[in-house]
Amino acid sequence: MKKQFVIIGLGSFGSSVCKRLFQLGHDVLAIDNDIETVKEISDYASHAVVANATDEDELKSLGVRNFDHAIVAIGEKIQPSILCTLILKEIGVKKVYVKAQNLKHQRVLEKIGADRIIHPEEEMGIRIANQLDSDKIIDYIGLSKNYSIIELEATNKVSNHSLVDLDVRAKYGCTILAIKREEHVNVSPLPDDKIVQGDILVVMGDNKSLKRFEEKGL
Question: What does each of the 218 residues of the chain score in pLDDT, given as a tens digit?
Answer: 889 999 999 999 999 999 999 999 999 999 999 999 999 999 999 999 999 999 999 999 999 999 989 999 997 789 999 999 999 999 999 999 999 988 899 999 999 999 999 988 877 887 788 777 777 788 888 888 889 999 999 999 999 999 999 999 999 999 999 999 988 999 989 999 999 999 999 999 999 999 999 888 88
Q: How far is CA 175 from the centre of its chain?
A: 22
Instruction: Report the DSSP beta bridge partners of residue 140.
Output: 150
Q: Are residues 24 and 112 in the same domain?
A: yes
Question: What Rg do the C-alpha atoms of the chain give, in angstroms?
Answer: 22
Full residue range of the structural domain in which residue 180 is found: 123-217
Q: Are residues 207 and 170 in the same domain?
A: yes
Helix residue ranges, H only, 42-77: 56-61
**CB contact at 8 A, 143 and 149:** yes
Q: Are residues 27 and 96 in the same domain?
A: yes
Q: Are residues 25 and 89 in the same domain?
A: yes
CATH at residue 186: 3.30.70.1450
Helix (H) / strand (E) containing 68: none
Residue 166 per-residue DSSP state: H
Cα–Cα distances in angstroms (integers) from residue 33 to residues 80, 90, 118, 187, in the given order = 12, 21, 22, 43
Q: Roughly what angle, to the nearest 10 degrees, separates helices 78-90 and 103-111?
A: 20
Q: Are residues 134 and 171 in the same domain?
A: yes
Q: Are residues 146 and 205 in the same domain?
A: yes
Q: Are residues 52 and 146 in the same domain?
A: no
